[in-house]
Chains A and B, each alone.
Chain A
Amino acid sequence: MKKFFKDKEHLVRMAALFAGGIALFVIARAVLVPKGFGLYGHYRAGALADNMAKPLVHAGRAACGECHTDKKDELSKGKHAGIGCEACHGALARHAADPSEVKPAKPEPKTLCLRCHTTNVAKPAKFPQIDPKTHMDGADCHGCHASHAPDKEPKP
């Protein structure tokens, strides 16, 4: 029996080396692997919150309608009913957050109208299109069409 354990010192040293190695691995892993990694899959769960945290730039049509009820009504009765406010007026989350401080620029009507309604063979045939050179000799769109409800005449 005594002979069997005569080289036990070697075993103890080996075991200590392994234990040290495992401890080092566990500590290194705890330090290097970020918090929440592996909660949903092979990625950092906190990345979802990072993606959510970005500030809004477009407020959304519901936010516009909270104050501009008259425009909302006008829009809902015409051919432009399905269009969001920011499709023409641009991104306005900053205006929605602080309406008195940040004032949106008034959109330039002709550029906006022609952006969608200029003829193009790739456009769906049913979509209303005009050639700006020949249609009413290039007159101002708002002479005949109300911008929020273009199938109606503008209010004087």
Chain B
Amino acid sequence: MTSDRRDFLLTAGKLLLVTGPAAAFLEAAESGKEMEPKYRMADHYWGMIIDIKKCIGCGNCVRADKSENNVPLEPFYFRTWVERYHIEGGWSEHPDVDSPNGGYDGFPEKYPAGDGAKSFFVPKLCNQCAHSPCTQVCPVGATFETPDGAVLVDKSYCLGCRYCIQACPYGCRYIHPASETVDKCNLCYHRITKGLTTACCEACPTGARQLVDLKDPKDPVHEFLRTHTVQVLKPHMATGSKMYYANLDGTVR
């Protein structure tokens, strides 16, 4: 094949024109791939902030959770529940606590208005501990802390030995009567990995609970933790709980 200088320059020029669009096309194709909703565990670390001053005890979280996660309706199976504290004199070693059906039907008024007692609601759920006592006692590795900060149960691997139920200091686990394996709040792992919030947070009308991503620098949790008095439940047990309660009273167990 013979070619003179003119042919060569023409071909080179054409190629030069093509490279621009080609590069743009490749870039678009590549970025399109990245835009796919793919969940990366390393980018997240989940927790929750719970503001006691906002909880109205409506029980929406309990109902939403039971329907989302197929929790039996009997009044002793809960992944999340609400407790009502009533403390006469403002402080007590043994506060009056009740939780009729876990708060599923709300809280019928039980105390007279203006009796001077301190009264408030405390929503409870699995604390998604970073150093969970429950995962440490599992003999087969059926419950564990994920790298993104959730404590999950491997249903196909659980023996139903109930060690973890005894180990959990917060009483967050139960044996599901259908599968005879342990069940607990998994922070709606099927939802949060799809970019949705948990069922309880979705249903909470006052924003008393908010799912937070501690690894997301734009998450309002950082501002919240800086500007509020925050406590975890049973801090003396050093469980590394990631349920941050704002305005929590010291009588709460």
- A residues within 8 Å of B by Cβ? 34, 37, 40-44, 47-48, 50-58, 60-61, 80, 82-84, 86-88, 90-91, 115-116, 118-124, 127
Pick from A80, A116, A120 the residue with the most CB of B within 10 Å.
A120
Nearest-neighbor residue (CB-CB) of B61 within chain A: A87
**Cβ contact of B67, chosen from A42, A57, A118, cutoff 8 A:** A57
Expressed in whole angstroms, the Cα–Cα distance for A86 and B191 within the complex equals 15
Q: CB distance B58 to A58 under 8 Å?
A: no
Expressed in whole angstroms, the Cα–Cα distance for A123 and B186 within the complex equals 28
**Cβ contact of B121, chosen from A52, A88, A122, cutoff 8 A:** A122
Q: CB distance A52 to B190 under 8 Å?
A: yes
Q: CB distance A121 to B141 under 8 Å?
A: no
What is the CB-to-nearest-CB distance from B199 to chain A, in angstroms, rounded to a whole number? 5
Known: A47-B154, A124-B54. Is A58-B68 also a contact (CB below 8 A)?
yes
What is the CB-to-nearest-CB distance from A30 to chain B, in angstroms, rounded to a whole number? 17
Chain B residue numbers with a CB within 8 Å of A55 are: 190
Cβ-based interface call for B155 (8 A): yes
Expressed in whole angstroms, the Cα–Cα distance for A91 and B71 within the complex equals 14
What is the CB-to-nearest-CB distance from B208 to chain A, in angstroms, rounded to a whole number? 9
- B residues within 8 Å of A by Cβ? 39, 41, 53-60, 64, 67-69, 84-86, 106-107, 109, 111-115, 117, 119-121, 141-147, 152-157, 186, 189-191, 193-194, 196-197, 199, 202-207
Expressed in whole angstroms, the Cα–Cα distance for A90 and B203 within the complex equals 8
Q: CB distance B58 to A115 under 8 Å?
A: yes
Q: CB distance B202 to A43 under 8 Å?
A: no
**Cβ contact of B57, chosen from A82, A83, A122, cutoff 8 A:** A122
Q: CB distance B107 to A120 under 8 Å?
A: yes
Expressed in whole angstroms, the Cα–Cα distance for A118 and B107 within the complex equals 10
Q: CB distance B64 to A44 under 8 Å?
A: no
Known: A86-B202, A115-B106. Is A52-B193 also a contact (CB below 8 A)?
yes
The total number of A-B Cβ pairs within 8 Å is 139
Q: CB distance B141 to A37 under 8 Å?
A: yes
Known: A34-B157, A122-B119. Is A43-B58 also a contact (CB below 8 A)?
no
A55-B190, A115-B58, A119-B109 given; name 10 further pairs at CB < 8 Å. A43-B154, A50-B154, A53-B190, A58-B67, A58-B191, A58-B196, A91-B64, A121-B86, A122-B57, A123-B56
Q: CB distance B56 to A50 under 8 Å?
A: no
Chain B residue numbers with a CB within 8 Å of A37 are: 141
Nearest-neighbor residue (CB-CB) of B51 within chain A: A124
What is the CB-to-nearest-CB distance from B79 to chain A, in angstroms, rounded to a whole number? 13
Expressed in whole angstroms, the Cα–Cα distance for A55 and B72 within the complex equals 17
**Cβ contact of A60, chosen from B53, B112, B196, cutoff 8 A:** B196
Nearest-neighbor residue (CB-CB) of A40 within chain B: B147
Chain A residue numbers with a CB within 8 Å of B147 are: 40
Expressed in whole angstroms, the Cα–Cα distance for A37 and B141 within the complex equals 9
Pick from A37, A53, A87, A88 the residue with the most CB of B within 10 Å.
A87
Expressed in whole angstroms, the Cα–Cα distance for A56 and B197 within the complex equals 11
Q: CB distance B113 to A119 under 8 Å?
A: yes
Expressed in whole angstroms, the Cα–Cα distance for A118 and B58 within the complex equals 10
Chain A residue numbers with a CB within 8 Å of B58 are: 115-116
Expressed in whole angstroms, the Cα–Cα distance for A12 and B119 within the complex equals 79
Q: CB distance B157 to A44 under 8 Å?
A: yes
Chain B residue numbers with a CB within 8 Å of A120 are: 56-57, 107, 109
Chain A residue numbers with a CB within 8 Å of B157 are: 34, 43-44, 47
Known: A91-B68, A122-B84. Is A43-B203 also a contact (CB below 8 A)?
no
What is the CB-to-nearest-CB distance from A66 to chain B, in angstroms, rounded to a whole number? 14
Q: CB distance B205 to A42 under 8 Å?
A: no
Chain A residue numbers with a CB within 8 Å of B206 are: 82, 127
